[in-house]
Chain A
Amino acid sequence: MIKKKICMLGAFAVGKTSLVRRFVDSIFSERYQTTVGVKIDKKSMEIDGRRIDLIIWDLNGEDEFQSVRTSYLRGSSGCIYVVDGTRSSTVETAGSLYGKTTAAIGRVPAVLVLNKQDLHQQWEVGDRLLAPVRQMADAVFYTSARTGQGVERAFSKLAVMMMENSGQ
């Protein structure tokens, strides 16, 4: 059986936990309960007829109170960087987290998700702002943990890239 550890990274309240909940349990909640430390979830999926277990480490968001512990990143085969499309500052955080992660564990397949797509009226992040972070990611998805849009695809893409990356 194939198992891969992946990490959810991003600024606080961008919707990391919500995306995992949507992906794993197919639910969404308006309530915001910040993650302290790390929460671990698991989801099995099939890629080309082969089963792969994703062990998802949902880390706390980066803010002035707590920063991401790089030791949690160890052994990770892939990362999902989450940006809140309604807050342009979260783009920069994603970028700095990317630097931090790559320094800690080297380059691993990375997916960038621009979350809260359902709130397009309040959308703040445009192409010019995104250009630098687009570079670092192997794939970019517009998602909404609320409607489920793009969530499955973002995780699947990462799974496929990780499998290819290790020749499995």
Chain B
Amino acid sequence: MAGGMDSNPEDSREAFGLLRQLLLKPEIEKLAEISRRLDDPEVRAAEVGQILAAALRRQAAVDDRLCLALRPLIEKTLYNSVRKNPRALVDIIFPVMGPALRKSVSAAIMGMIQSLNQMANHCLTIRGIKWRLEAWKSGKPFSAVVLAHTLLFRVEQVFLIHAESGLVLQHVAAEGVSGKDPDLVSGMFTAIQDFVKDALGSGSELIDTLRLGNQRSIWLEQGRYAILAAVIRGTPPMDLRHDIQDCLDRIEAVRGQALAAFDGDTAPFENLDAELRGLLQFQARPETGRRTWLLPAAIATLVTLAALALGLNRYQENRTWQRLLERLRSQPGIIVTRAAREDGRYLVEGLRDPLAPDPESIKSACRAAKLPVDWRWKAYWTMDRPFVLKRAELLLKPPPSVRLLLEGGILSARGYASHSWIVRARRLASVLPGLAGYNDGQVVDQDLVAFQKAVQRLESKAIYFVKGGIDLDPGQEPNLDDVASIVRTLQGFDFPDRPGLNIAVIGHTDVSGTEKFNLALSRLRAEKVVSLLAARGLEAGLFNPLGLGPAGTGSESQALWRSVTFGVR
């Protein structure tokens, strides 16, 4: 059997196969099975699937190579998936994140309100108390009121700095704000400014903003002599920059000399306090504080709230403004030609009679004292009755014994006054605007009355002479003295609008003697009286001697015989 096997190779190959079959059958079957499994993707997939989870778990436990290998794949997959269908991711994530999101937003708001609440509780400022009152009046929760008042920005401090030395001329801070010594802070501003100027060359622009962290900034405005610096929290509007500039301009305009001459004495600048306080502005809006991925949601909520609060503020301010305008428009003596809101301030332009009430007092009277209003008035004279009358009174200055009345455009004066007042009033009234005429017919001229009385007295006087001569009757001296004193009284009156005083001295004779002789005698008698009066110190030129000759024979005329009488033109 063995030899046959050796001699026949065919047989031996077959026998070997058979033997192999006999010996290795299970292994061969296994091999075939394995190669089938390896060749058949279906089967392989099914198998890898069975062990994949376990394999990943094991490998992950060993090191993170698998992790590193998978990361780009997973990232790319996620990316593609989200790009194709974002909704899916949201759907997946929302059930988990939604509540957390809501909770976090409300926590952020609550946290903020609480801290605000705390802040307001903490510093019992006037504003804090006002907010409490407002909350109490409106029935809103206090925190809501605080929120409404919280800041979009706030000017915390304002420094007026002497540019050259960096010394603080005046400093104001908002309520509750305390910082380093203003002198030191201001010194640093100046040093920084100097440093930059040095570093960048003298032609370089000046610094106008410094940042302190991401919350605070300092706005600097440089004038000729002074620097105005505002420390601001938050994000202010550009309007503020203009306000700062304006403020500095005003200060330099008014205090330019004191600034130029500044030598360390800050006294001239102490009353700029109010001016600087005008810059301690703030604007309401909640502060969001923490920067989280929730920020957009939180901001949206807060902005809405803030907009409401701002709106309310604006609305109230606007109402005050309208009220003020109404009052101004209805005020006689004031004509508003333009009213506008510019750069956060209000502007009123118009005409104002100097006699009209002060607009500032009107402002306080209609509870608008705090409204920042700039006035631009041109003077004018209104024709309103009370103003015309008041103006006439101011201009004519009537004595207490005269009353002015205005009827149908005609100004009339009544009472007693001096001659000079009457003349002056007549002249002034003729140029007073708004009058149809002036009537002083009912004003008694006190001087004229007195003058006329004196004239009457003089004209009733007579100086008597001896028969046929120019010697005075005995006892006529006192009579002559009387005449002299009356003439002096008349001289004391000054009527610039009347011709000068001139007194006729008239000589008379009796009826005896010739006509010619009597005329000459009467003339001589008149001249005699003039010379006697001149001897009493009176100026001869005042008198005009006349000789009338013989007086008549009637009883009245007989009283004139041998006399000299007087007449005033």
Are A and B physically bound partners?
A: yes
A2 — which chain B residues lie within 8 A by C-beta? Answer: 264-266
Contact of B187 among A1, A57, A166, A168 (CB under 8 A): A57
- A155 nearest CB across to chain B (Å): 15
Q: Determine if A162 and B195 form an interchain contact, defined as CB atoms under 8 angstroms apart.
A: no
- Determine if A3 and B194 form an interchain contact, defined as CB atoms under 8 angstroms apart: no
Within 8 A of B (CB), among A64-83: 69, 71-72, 74-77
Decide yes or no: A76 and B165 within 8 Å by CB, A1-B266, A4-B264 being known contacts.
yes
Nearest A-chain residue to B265, judged by Cβ: A2
Q: Give A162 to B195 CA distance when docked, in angstroms.
A: 26
Write out the residue numbers on chain B whose beta carbons fall within 8 Å of the beta carbon of A53: 183
Determine whether the beta carbon of B264 is less than 8 Å from that of A40: no
Contacts of B198 in A (CB 8 A): 69, 71
B166 at the interface (CB under 8 A from A): yes
A77 to B164, CA, bound (A): 11
Q: How far is the CB of A25 from chain B (nearest CB, A)?
A: 13
Task: Give residues of chain B (316-374) contacting chain A, Cβ–Cβ below 8 Å.
Answer: none
Q: In the complex where A75-B165, A75-B166 touch, is A37 in contact with B264 (Cβ < 8 A)?
A: no
A137 interface residue, CB < 8 Å from B? Answer: no
Query: Is B167 at the interface (CB under 8 A from chain A)?
Result: yes
By a CB distance below 8 angstroms, the chain B residues around A116 are none
Q: How far is the CA of A73 from the CA of B274 in the complex (A)?
A: 32
- B251-266 residues with Cβ-Cβ distance < 8 A to A are 263-266
Contact of B167 among A3, A37, A71, A72 (CB under 8 A): A3
Given A2-B266, A3-B168, A42-B181, decide whether A55 and B187 contact each other with a Cβ distance below 8 A: yes
How far apart sit A2 and B183, CA to CA, in the bound complex (Å)? 12
Cross-chain contact A5 with B265 (CB below 8 angstroms): no
Chain A residues numbered 27-48 whose CB sits less than 8 Å from any CB in chain B: 37-38, 40-42
Q: Which residue of B lies closest to A4 (CB)?
A: B264
B129 adjacent to chain A (CB < 8 Å): no
Question: Residue-by-residue, is B190-222 near A (CB-CB < 8 Å gives 1, otherwise 0)?
Answer: 010011011000000000000000000000000
B267 adjacent to A5 (CB under 8 Å) = no
Is B264 a contact partner of A3 (Cβ separation < 8 A)?
yes
Chain B residue with Cβ nearest A74: B164
Cβ of B188 under 8 Å from chain A? yes
Tell me the bound Cα distance from A162 to B265 in angstroms: 12
Q: Return the chain B residue nearest A55 by Cβ.
A: B183
A74-B194 in contact (CB<8A): yes
Q: Does B525 contact A (CB under 8 A)?
A: no
Q: Which residue of B lies closest to A5 (CB)?
A: B165
User: Does B149 sit at the interface, judged by CB under 8 A?
Assistant: no
In the complex the two chains form, is A37's CB within 8 Å of B164's CB?
no
Q: Does B183 contact A69, Cβ atoms closer than 8 Å? A: no
Q: Which residues of A contact B110 (CB under 8 A)?
A: none
Give CA–CA (A38, B191) in the complex, Å. Answer: 7
A72 to B164, CA, bound (A): 9
B184 located at the interface, meaning its Cβ lies under 8 Å from any Cβ of chain A in the complex: yes
- Closest chain A residue to B262 by CB distance? A75
Residues of chain A within 8 A (CB-CB) of B168 are 3
Question: Is A41 a contact partner of B164 (Cβ separation < 8 A)?
Answer: no
> Shortest Cβ distance from B64 into chain A, in angstroms?
48
**A72 neighbours in B (Cβ, 8 Å):** 191, 194
A77→B263 contact, CB < 8 A: yes
B154 at interface (Cβ–Cβ under 8 A)? no
Is B162's beta carbon under 8 Å from chain A?
yes
CB of A93 to closest CB in B, whole Å = 20
User: Does A69 contact B265, Cβ atoms closer than 8 Å?
Assistant: no
Question: In angstroms, how far is the closest chain B Cβ from the Cβ of A44?
Answer: 10
Q: Which residues of B contact A168 (CB under 8 A)?
A: 263-265
Contacts of B267 on A, CB cut-off 8 Å? 1
B193–chain A nearest beta-carbon distance, Å: 9
A166 and B191 contact, Cβ closer than 8 Å, known pairs A3-B168, A5-B167, A40-B184 = no
Counting chain A CB atoms within 10 Å of each CB, the highest count among B165, B184, B194, B267 belongs to B165
| A164 smallest CB distance to B (angstroms) | 12
CB-CB < 8 A to B263: which residues of A?
Answer: 77, 166, 168
Residue of B whose beta carbon sits closest to that of A40: B187
A51 to chain B minimum Cβ distance, whole angstroms, is 11
A41 to B188, CA, bound (A): 10
Complex CA gap A52/B165 in Å reads 15
Specify which chain A residues have a CB less than 8 angstroms from the CB of B264 in the assembled complex: 2-4, 52, 77, 162, 166, 168
Alpha-carbon distance between A71 and B202 when the two chains are bound, in angstroms: 10
CA distance A38 to B181 in the complex (A): 17
Q: Which residues of B contact A71 (CB under 8 A)?
A: 194-195, 197-198
Bound Cα distance A40, B267 (Å): 23
Once bound together, how far apart are the Cα atoms of A40 and B264, in whole Å? 17
Minimum CB–CB distance for A104 against chain B, Å: 12
Pair B183/A42 contact, Cβ less than 8 Å: yes
A22 CB to nearest chain B CB (Å)? 18
Q: Would A37 and B191 be within 8 Å (CB), given that A42-B183, A55-B166 are in contact?
A: yes
Contact B165 A77 (CB under 8 A): yes
Closest chain A CB from B159 CB (angstroms)? 13
Report the nearest B residue to A72, measured CB to CB: B194
What is the bound-complex CA distance between A130 and B559, given in angstroms? 118
The chain A residue with its CB closest to the CB of B162 is: A75
Please, what's the 1-or-0 string for A72-114, where 1 marks a CB less than 8 Å from any CB in chain B?
Answer: 1011110000000000000000000000000000000000000
Q: Would B266 and A69 count as touching, CB distance under 8 A?
A: no
- Using an 8 Å CB-CB cutoff, how does the interface string of A144-168 with B read, 1 for contact, 0 for none? 0000000000000000001000101
Query: Which residues of the other chain, A, contact B164 by a CB distance below 8 angstroms?
Result: 74-75
Contact A40 B266, beta carbon cutoff 8 Å: no
Residues of A within 8 A of B195 (CB): 37, 69, 71
A75 to B167, CA, bound (A): 9
Contacts of B197 in A (CB 8 A): 71
Bound form: Cα–Cα A55–B166 in Å: 9
Residues of chain B within 8 A (CB-CB) of A166 are 263-265
Look across to chain A and name the residue whose beta carbon is closest to the beta carbon of B202. Answer: A71
Query: Interface digits, B262-291 against A, CB 8 Å rule (1 contact, 0 not)?
Result: 011111000000000000000000000000
Q: Which residues of A contact B (CB under 8 A)?
A: 1-5, 37-38, 40-42, 52-53, 55, 57, 69, 71-72, 74-77, 162, 166, 168
**Known A1-B267, A40-B187, A40-B188; 7 more pairs at CB < 8 Å:** A2-B265, A37-B195, A52-B264, A55-B165, A71-B197, A71-B198, A77-B263
- Give 8 CB contacts A-B under 8 Å: A53-B183, A55-B184, A55-B187, A71-B197, A71-B198, A72-B194, A76-B165, A77-B165
Seen from chain B, the residues whose Cβ lies within 8 Å of a Cβ on chain A are 162-168, 181, 183-184, 187-188, 191, 194-195, 197-198, 263-267
What are the 6 tightest A-B residue pairs by CB atom distance, in nearest-first order? A75-B165, A75-B164, A40-B187, A71-B194, A166-B263, A5-B165
